[in-house]
Structure 1
């Protein structure tokens, strides 16, 4: 990619800023979140630390698991991305709680749908510079490498583990979880292809 490091970093941070807005809108809709976001919300409701803080704590565990799968190779740099995403998620949740006071079912559905589109757009931007992945994504790739699995199968495994834990901690698993599971990947792929062609 013909982008210098400053441009790549700018695109990466802009993508993170946008995708965490999408995540926060989905959480605000309270109709079900992504598997690991549901874990973070469930832990937040039970224990009280911020959602972003739990995202970072889980990222630490993901780094450890990925390192074990890679027989001692720990990618601690992925925690930088995890910290940024966690911080921005907390920022957006704070802002949205102040600005969005309407909470009937139709508004919540709107939050969910807008959140999915915004998340997909931000995720595509975040992926284009090919900088440090989030710890969860890196752990997924560690599963792929260790057991010679496809990326899709590895994602299903990590998402399934997240859903199981989310149920245990009473996280918001629901309609939104299903929509996110089946729509974010294809949407992100379409947006990624269009944006990367413009930014090359």
Structure 2
């Protein structure tokens, strides 16, 4: 059951990313970097998800001074395939043109991405390297997810600008709200999933 929620979280996460890309209002700085690389260098957005993840796994290992968590590549592969699949499916059916539909796509994507991230993180199995980096910074800086996530977003924003990624009002909103949404979803998903994953006697009401 744990792995079912793990995959479900990743599927929701990749759907949220795809919705934000298709909204044309801007994506998270990390995803803007992936799109910028895909457009200007080649390969697909999902392929760059895996490549950048491999680099981050090395960085995380150095920060934690431990062996690389190679299982993070498995997560990145699932998300990468999910992003490319959702982009293929959604772009072939509905493409937002009017501003209100773009806003709807972006808002839905931001919420779905936050929910998916919270679900798969709570399974505590092979986090995406960028999310693992978020948790590492949270521990190192002794702050919360909002602060650590924002620090990472600013760093990737600079890289996305270099590679001409889709930066827009949505990017600013993601930087400002992404950490808050994740921080809000984490306790809710924790309580919900614990009722399913843990023995009833160990669940605190």
Query: Do these two structures clear the TM 0.5 threshold for a shared fold by scoring above it?
Result: yes
**In structure 2, how many angstroms separate the alpha carbons of the residues matched to 1:39 and 1:131?**
25
The RMSD of aligned alpha carbons is: 2.0
Match of 1:150 in 2: 143
1:140, distance to aligned residue in structure 2 (A): 3.6
1:126, distance to aligned residue in structure 2 (A): 1.6
Alignment partner of 1:197 out of 191, 200, 205: 191
Equivalenced residues, count: 193
Contact 1:66 1:143 in 2 (8 A): no
**In structure 1, how many angstroms separate the alpha carbons of the residues matched to 2:149 and 2:14?**
20
Match of 2:59 in 1: 65
1:79, distance to aligned residue in structure 2 (A): 1.1
Q: Helix, strand or coil for the counterpart of 1:39?
A: helix
**In structure 1, how many angstroms separate the alpha carbons of the residues matched to 2:182 and 2:131?**
15
Match of 2:10 in 1: 16
Alignment partner of 1:89 out of 80, 83, 90: 83
**In structure 1, how many angstroms separate the alpha carbons of the residues matched to 2:141 and 2:112?**
32
**In structure 2, how many angstroms separate the alpha carbons of the residues matched to 1:16 and 1:45?**
24
Match of 1:3 in 2: none
Unaligned runs of 5+ in 2: 196-205
Match of 2:168 in 1: 174
Match of 2:154 in 1: 160
Q: Deviation string for 1:6-56 (max 9, x for gaps)?
A: x11101111111121111000000111001100001011102210010011
**In structure 1, how many angstroms separate the alpha carbons of the residues matched to 2:148 and 2:189?**
26
Unaligned runs of 5+ in 1: 1-6
Q: Helix, strand or coil for the counterpart of 1:99?
A: coil
Q: TM-score, normalised by structure 1?
A: 0.86
Is 2:49 aligned against 1:50? Answer: no
Q: Helix, strand or coil for the counterpart of 1:130?
A: coil
